[in-house]
Amino acid sequence: MNNPLLAEFATPFHTAPFNQLKPEHFLPAVQESIQLAKGEIEKIKSEALPTFSNTIEALDRSGKKLNIVTSIFFNLNSAETNEEIQKLAREISPLLTEHSNDILLDQELFSRVEQVYSQKEELTLSPEQKTLLDKTYKAFVRNGAKLSGEEAEKLRKIDQELAQLSLKFGENVLAETNKYVHFIENESEIEGLHEGIKEAAAQTSEDKGKPGQWAFTLDYPSYIPTMTYAKNRELRKTLFLAYNTKCCKGDELDNQEIIKDILRLRHDRAVLLGYKSHADFVLEERMAKSPLSVMKFLEDLLEKAKPKAEEEVRELEEFAKNLDGIEEIQKWDFAYYSELLKKAKYELDDELLRPYFKLENVIEGVFQTAGKLYGLSFTPNPEIPVYHPEVTAYEVKDRQGKHLAVFYADFFPRAGKRNGAWMTSFRGQNKTGEHEQRPHVSIVCNFTKPTKTKPSLLTFNEVTTLFHEFGHALHGMMARGTYESLSGTSVYWDFVELPSQIFENWCFEKECLDLFAHHYETGEKISENMIERIKKASNFQQGYQTVRQISFGLLDMAYHSEDTSRIKDIFQFERAVMKRTDLLPVVENTLMSTSFSHIFQGGYSSGYYSYKWAEILDADAFELFQEKGVFDQETAQSFEKNILSAGGSEHPSVLYARFRGREPRPEALLRRSGLIQ
């Protein structure tokens, strides 16, 4: 058959030919691309004397076709999947693991890498080339190149099993999310929900074959507003229990045994490679360096945040008691009473703000912010094929008007898409001689859908999410590296959140909000008074939110910094770890771990702390913008040059100090969070 994945893409900017792709194209394309990549590896091994160019650079440039085919496939498996694609993922995943192991356990190839590495002091290399040499050598060693034949086979087996288990974990979470729907017949039971949310629930119910009712699901745009505004305490409890018992009910979608298997295999793998634990293995290649320093970081933060968090919970309990006679606040009450308290304190709530954040306007605002800072422009290009009608593709140009990237935006929930928000890429950036391959980057979110009478109106939280993911996208789109493996977001995991988190800061600045925060019906700008209230409210319950993030980081570290084969019961283990950070009564039979996709499906194992770590960097970095002016060109160009364009070309602490002129200081985050004066 003619396979569009194996031909030269005859599309604008050689973008993925989604309009021609069928599921049956993927497996043959992966198989053939693996053979092509194997041929490239054999060519490297056949070269006479190993040099930086014929071994290290050649390795980085090998497998290009395979990278593109698999990026397309796995991005579809996250954003537009179905049973056929999930079945293919289970077939394709082991092939890729085996191929990766064939390269990293190839003794002849490693011997060449080692020879070049042993001469690194004599070679005249740029900082980026030195980084590539170090990274390549470490990739081999950290993936078993120094293991004996028997141990190498053991490693292969572990890697195969891990690849399958994390796929299965994610499939179960998606299936459990899609399966759940709660119907309500009587409108009095959904008091407190705003018209837009009710309309969306009525639309969902109609789509699910029950017109005249209201349907609630576990998708964010349904779940979060219901937990925040529904006066009906029983409805909140019902949804809370459904959300927090995902994949732990002892049925075919239960993830508890999968977690135990993943943890056991990760630990075995680390020990096989000479590390004390999976966390020791992972953190060797992070800014934090060791489990000890991560724990110290989280403990220090907890010490500062917990008293504030406890004070905030006491305030909320008092408020709920006075308002509704609630004797003890439960976890399903928290968002509801917090929203009411926020409204009482700051005369501000999401529904007051939503009309100013029509999705199309916010997208335009994001583009204009990137334009004012970095000179970028975004033009929709309907000629670029997309994988779903809801996806828009844009051509991005730099300040000289030259082609910079292709950007895809995909904003609404649907059955084939996992929950949450993320940035990804279909093609990376690299340079070979005069030729430069520019990146194809995408952001995927789950925002409130438009209804028959209203456009998509975002909560302020959704606005910051869009800015966050777009910050990641800028990191990908503005890459200017030579080597793809060091380009764009290919940086240390605890550094990767800096470009995304710093970009959120502009959402709180009048100069930025004035660009796009206009009432969707009247066109009036958001008032200065309202912006002030948004700023004041940004520290509302910061202590509580900080402790919550720390609790996830501590759970991640508890799972990965010890031998966890002793875990008999996931419920008990999670409870024991979370006890120190629990600020509200424990709800029996709920479990967060079984849907903790970040660490069991995504790449955040032993890395969840990095959100808070990067907040220190982003708060410290943004203070410089505040000193100079939030659109100051000199500061923006320095951030572009030293952070966004530099990717992973040098160690992040070197890049950060070059931008900031010094090391980051944690006080900036504590000031911003209101934890110190």
The single-letter DSSP state of residue 437 is E
CA dist 671 and 677 (Å) reads 6
Length of the chain: 677
CA dist 467 and 363 (Å) reads 9
Q: Locate 587 and state its tokens.
A: 């709800």
234 labelled catalytic: no
Residues 107, 108, 111, 117, Cα dihedral to 10°: -110
Residue 667 makes CB contacts below 8 A (sequence gap 6+) with 676
316 alpha-carbon distance from chain centroid:
31
Amino acid 341 reads L
CB 478 within 8 A of CB 645: yes
Residue 26 makes CB contacts below 8 A (sequence gap 6+) with 5, 69, 73, 85, 88, 92
537 alpha-carbon distance from chain centroid:
25
What residues are paired with 435 via a beta bridge?
432
The single-letter DSSP state of residue 525 is B
What share of residues in the chain are helix, strand, coil (percent, to 5)?
A: 60, 5, 35
Select from 433, 407, 373 the least CA-distant residue to 53. Answer: 433
Catalytic residue among 161, 469, 509, 623: 469
CB 606 within 8 A of CB 557: yes
Select from 299, 339, 373 the least CA-distant residue to 553. Answer: 299
Catalytic residues: 469
